[in-house]
Structure 1
């Protein structure tokens, strides 16, 4: 066995990033993130990678390397360390602190006394995890302290970019590591695994510093409160808002648990700086006129319980949106959240606010590389083989095409799916199989106890409602009482009594035939009732509700 590379999340999707690297002796992982639910995942909080392969190789699993502190890269770590508490976690300073805060939250399973071993890593230094040797290198992204990872092998380096962009004027003045990547290219890169999120976007991404000028412009135009919504992890954007607020003598108020926690962590570590007299608790909000106030809030994705949603619905106890207020949505919209975001925007306009939207108005720039930056990454590293990662399938496919334009042969490019096993042996790479990972849904305290079948049932309930048929039988298999038909989310009962009465008649006829046939199988009776009612509802009103048959014996 040479080296196996197994992506268990992050391919063909946005989020849930996790890739396994397996040698004869050990396994390490890069990232362990969550995926936010799509609109059809009713009731699901989020989705995490499937750890089943790691369970089957528990003794070999030694460590986790984390590229940066976004939820789609760290959000599943609390579930991972619950099952594998002896692993070592490697990350930069800010990333490790965000991980600690995340995994010690109330809903998770770790407290400060039993944290896993954590090793702080620095760019351009080598580290060991069992028989793996790796080096982080600095990249730019929409969060501070982001790195890519170069794994050293006998056959050459394997470079995993993490999420990256190339920003020559970053907010923190920490430049993309051209030199290290170029040096790796000279030494020999066997495989490049590169971020594909923005592969559809031509040219170069804009610099974070360009955002400041546009924020400045909107601050000069605002007459009332400024409400700036951003990702809680976007420390650079938060710093920019603080700087512009100071320039125009506006007091800053922050609300949102994750936002407050991240600012506290970043302040302690020196990643964000502000004067305390500009930062105030919400209780002081009424002490200042609206024209002197900036509120930094969470909820850019329209999350139902978020601060911005409660403000849009006029449910926030302390911050009221009023005519003349300016709302800045300083983040991009995650695919699938468009409906929730635009719902909030409409409500904010109804309350009298003006809303400025992210990239369309240049108050947010993407943290992911555009095509020309992706080409630069390939030119610097000069890999023999190429695997596009992090993105939906079209992103991966377009990135693969881009790689061909800069000299990577098509036969050396692998468009993988989650679970594919990429074997690295003797300078050759091939796909040898798939471990078939499943979607692991998190619903409340439930971990993986919701299957795809349950999701399909929830979709059915949401789309067509449900009809419950209650059949009460004696031990002699005779009807003990009249059949009941109850509907929810199917039809308005007051207007459809005839429909439900007919459903009772049909159910009665089915039960009577079942009794005459002498069948003792309840499953058979349930199937008969469902089949006849399904046929009736479809013919009568062209609807297909979820039909539940309950049989009670008395």
Structure 2
């Protein structure tokens, strides 16, 4: 993104990599960046920092396709490929290799099907001659004539790959002898789910290939030398590293200094910190409050700290509900106390503890005066929490439900 402003030209790189010989385009035009920046260089560059810690240059799609070609040539059974459903170029590579090696393509995954359909309609994807969507049926062919392209590169529990592994897919399953190619980068936070999936596939008897041990995925983010190329093309006076954790921003800022940006002109911004460009300087404005907006079902932003705290307690400790019906005039018990445990203890195993808890409830009722419903509820809640902490070292949510008649 190149923006002309009254105080100079601003360049925002977005996510980028520099591939001198891409499969289906002319590659990154660095001269365009140089010409836009002009002889003096741009006033400000905001540049992607994601892969600053990776030395050298990123793998190219041509190298990825060569690796996939070798897998197609070597695999004796079915090939199962999982990738980002938005990576149209990688999907097209698989289609082309399937055509070359005489394999029929079967896809599974709603997002994958939608993206392929849109790419085909726009003329940027060419379907192979033999193509099926598993939703409409799977052809009865020998294993060495099939390649499955499925969603689930990040171990998502409802994705096609997860359901194929765990037995929840209606049309497909992972089988012994399959070669599974996980053609994507493991996003931080998903490692546990992906590792579990890989273990299950090996348990079934499949062979699994993934990025850390095979050249089957090329990042969409440039590595250190590509980031250097961008800095040298734009030659900014001011530099703001973006898209990365704070450590990435710091290291990208150091690279900018190596490329000629003055140290004082490297500006590390965090969420909510505005930057104003002036004619001959810049100013950091007062921080704007920013926070996460939680979306829960149809509610947007209506789940606050108190609700989250309660849910964590419910998830960790469970809940005990005490149901009582009392006479409003005399305070005598008409029904109960009935103890209902959810996520707290197995009631048959701890039935004696719940009986002891009922005795504590009765003690609280005897000590309370008629009409003091609020005080009775609080007394039951406090008494039972103390009891459960002492006996079981657990602290469930205690909900007294008392009705007066």
Determine if the TM-score, normalized by the shorter chain, exceeds 0.5.
yes
Q: Which residue of the partner structure matches residue 499 of structure 1? A: 353
**Counterpart for residue 166 of structure 1:** 18
RMSD: 2.5
Taking structure 2 as the reference length, the TM-score comes to: 0.90
Query: For 1:457, which of 301, 306, 310 is the aligned residue?
Result: 310
- Once the two structures are TM-superposed, the CA of residue 430 in structure 1 deviates from its matched residue by 2.6
User: SS where residue 226 of structure 2 aligns?
Assistant: helix
Whole-angstrom CA distance in 2 between matches of 1:410 and 1:538: 56
Supply the distance in 2 between the matched residues of 1:393 and 1:474 (Cα, whole angstroms).
63
Q: Out of 310-319 and 427-436, give the one that drifted further.
A: 427-436
1:120-178: CA deviations, max 9, x gaps?
A: xxxxxxxxxxxxxxxxxxxxxxxxxxxxx122111112221111112222222331120
Q: Which runs of 5+ in 2 are unaligned?
A: none
SS at the partner of 1:180?
helix
Q: Label 1:532 to 1:212 Cα distance change in 2 as closer, same or farther (>3 A).
A: same
| Separation of aligned partners in 1, 2:96 and 2:384 | 65
Query: Do the aligned partners of residues 507 and 336 (structure 1) sit closer, same or farther apart at CA in structure 2, a change above 3 Å counting?
Result: farther
Q: CA deviation at 1:448?
A: 2.8
Unaligned runs of 5+ in 1: 1-148
Name the structure 2 match of 1:190.
43
SS at match of 2:312: helix
- Cα deviation, 1:242-289, whole Å, max 9, x if unaligned, reads 1111121101111211111111111222222244x2223435633311
Change (3 A) 1:457 1:392: farther
After TM superposition, give the deviation of residue 349 of structure 1 in Å: 2.2
Partner SS state of residue 205, structure 1: coil
> Cα distance, 1:411 vs. partner?
3.1
Q: Provide the rounded CA distance (Å) in 2 between the counterparts of 1:424 and 1:382.
A: 17
* CA deviation map 1:445-474 (0-9, x unaligned): 333333344333333322232233334444
Aligned with 1:484 (options 330, 338, 343): 338
The verdict on how the C-alpha distance between 1:509 and 1:401 changes in structure 2, with shifts beyond 3 A counting, is farther
Change (3 A) 1:455 1:203: farther
The Cα shift of 1:477 comes to 8.3
Q: 2:301 aligns to what?
A: 448
Tell me if the contact between 2:329 and 2:371 (Cα under 8 Å) persists in the aligned partners: no
Aligned pairs (5 A) from 1:203-242: 203-242=56-95
1:403-422 to 2 correspondences below 5 Å: 403-422=256-275
User: Secondary structure, in 3 states, of the residue corresponding to 2:148?
Assistant: strand
Q: Give the Cα–Cα distance (whole angstroms) in 2 for the partners of residues 474 and 405 of structure 1.
A: 81
Aligned to 2:163: 310
State the 1:479 CA deviation.
5.4
Report the equivalent of 1:542: 393
Residues 1:536 and 1:316: Cα distance change in structure 2 (over 3 Å): same
Within the candidate set 362, 372, 376, 2:229 is matched to 376
Q: C-alpha separation between the residues in 1 aligned to 2:150 and 2:26?
A: 27
CA distance in 1, matches of 2:238, 2:267: 8
Classify 1:401/1:305 alpha carbon distance in 2 versus 1 (closer, same or farther; 3 Å): same
Cα displacement string for residues 490-545 of structure 1 (whole angstroms, at most 9, x for unaligned residues): 222222223333333334444544x25x89472x5555544444433333333333
Q: In structure 2, what is the Cα distance between the partners aligned to 1:530 and 1:448? A: 30
Q: How does 1:526-537 map to 2 (within 5 A)?
A: 526-537=377-388
Contact 1:331 1:359 in 2 (8 A): no
Q: Is the 8 A contact 2:43 2:238 kept in 1?
A: yes
| Residues paired across the two proteins, number | 402
Q: 1-side partners of 2:280 and 2:360: how far apart?
A: 69
Distance 1:330 1:216 in 2: 13
Aligned to 1:322: 175
8 A contact 2:183–2:210 mirrored in 1: yes
Secondary structure, counterpart of 1:287 in structure 2: coil
Conservation of the 8 A alpha-carbon contact between 1:222 and 1:324: no
Query: Which of 292, 303, 328 matches 1:475?
Result: 328
